[in-house]
Amino acid sequence: MTNLLQSNNYHPDLIIEEARNGWRIIRLNRPKSLHALDESIATALLKLFEDFHQDDSVKAIWLDSTTPKAFCAGGDVRKLRQLVINDEVDAANRFFEQEYSLDLLLHNYAKPVVVWGEGYVMGGGLGLFMAAPFRLVTPFSRLAMPEVNIGLYPDVGGSRFLADRGPIGLFTGLTGSIMTAAGAYGIGWATHICDAQRDVVLQKLVDIDWEHYPAGDFRALDDTLNGMHRPVPPGPLQNSLDVIHSVCRGVDFEQDYNAIIGLSDARSDWLRQASENLQKGSPSTAAITWLLWQWGRQVHPWQEVFALEEQISNWKLRHPDFVEGVRARLVDKDLSPEWEEVESMTLPGILAKNPPVTNIESWNDLLKLYHVI
């Protein structure tokens, strides 16, 4: 069905294939790290998508990984942590610059991109996933923005795509809760649920006769994928919607924080886990996530979203919670981070000592509104 492109000068961990009818297939191939992203592969993907965008022989692009366990588990935060420890924050920031440039390109891409999100789709992987117009999950998909556990924050466009989902987006950002295929489809993170095998789905797309669709390539793909979509039973998210709306009102940070913590005795295992994640998570991450959700509700263009996130990421890398959070979760794996002490569990109490001021006035105005500066 496909031919391996011999001249892959982009990156050794990318497999690039050519298929009939103008299709190109890109596969992340870093199985040991669950296909984690670093500066080199983000840069390569950016160049590859730019080249495909300008190549008239390319009609559509399929993006996935080489293993069903994960599409992409996110950025290589262990590598980023080491750069910060080595006082190479500028090098760490370059990763975010390249990653966000890639995400921005895909949000504005003129050709159809289909992402096969099987297995874990998390953090930077979810950002890449959300930037595509066709986002496929399977019954084995697990999606999340789990940054509260490691002291980072839901970036890669999360400032907008979490805000777009209202209280549910805020809840998932604050708690890092894992979404099943049903939940992801229910809130629009996924566009289709496929129970067919990857090769079967890809073959059907490659077989599309574009000329039969005068309405265009996107319509052709949508019609074909709609024919393969298979609903699944409700997941824990759908079963918890009333609770989420009652605890996540998005009016007062302290109120939302305490209400979610109060779910520690909920009947649902999923809600109890959400409560525990927030309670044990980074206070600075919780505070910045809540504020970014408020900012995102104002609906900013993607370019401004990533411009703000570049500056917030620079601030967060330098915050002690990041190095400590990655240590506890992924390096020593003791799961006992010692977060930076805060004066109180309020926005000023958490952030006023080291406020995340940027050159974006709408963000700084929000910090003033909530007495952070």
Q: What percent of the chain has pLDDT over 90?
A: 97
Whether 7 has a pLDDT exceeding 60, the answer reads no
User: What is the tens place of the pLDDT at every residue in 299-322?
Assistant: 899 999 999 999 999 999 999 999
Whether 294 has a pLDDT exceeding 90, the answer reads yes
User: What is the tens place of the pLDDT at every residue in 50-79?
Assistant: 999 999 999 999 999 999 999 999 999 999
Q: What mean pLDDT, rounded, does the chain reach?
A: 96
pLDDT confidence of residue 3: 72
Coarse DSSP helix, strand, coil percentages of the chain, rounded to the nearest 5 percent: 55, 10, 35
Cβ–Cβ < 8 Å for 198, 1: no
Asked whether the whole model's pTM tops 0.85, one would answer: yes
Average pLDDT over residues 228-236: 93
Beta-carbon contacts of 49 under 8 Å, excluding residues fewer than 6 positions away, are 61, 102, 105, 106, 109
User: What is the tens place of the pLDDT at every residue in 110-169?
Assistant: 999 999 999 999 999 999 999 999 999 999 999 999 999 999 999 999 999 999 999 999
Cβ–Cβ < 8 Å for 170, 250: yes
Residue that is written with structure tokens 């919670």 in the block:
321
Q: Give the chain's domains with CATH numbers.
A: 2-369 (3.90.226.10)
**The pair of three-digit structure tokens given for residue 22, joined into one six-digit string:** 């103008």
User: What is the tens place of the pLDDT at every residue in 174-207?
Assistant: 999 999 999 999 999 999 999 999 999 999 999 9
Rounded distance, CA 370 to CA 250, Å? 13
pLDDT confidence of residue 345: 96
Closest CA to 160 of 127, 115, 120, 114: 127
The DSSP secondary structure of 47-113, one letter per residue, reads: HHHHHHHH-TT--EEEEEESSTTEEE--B-HHHHHHHHHTT-HHHHHHHHHHHHHHHHHHHT-SS-E
Alpha carbon 71 to chain centroid, angstroms: 12
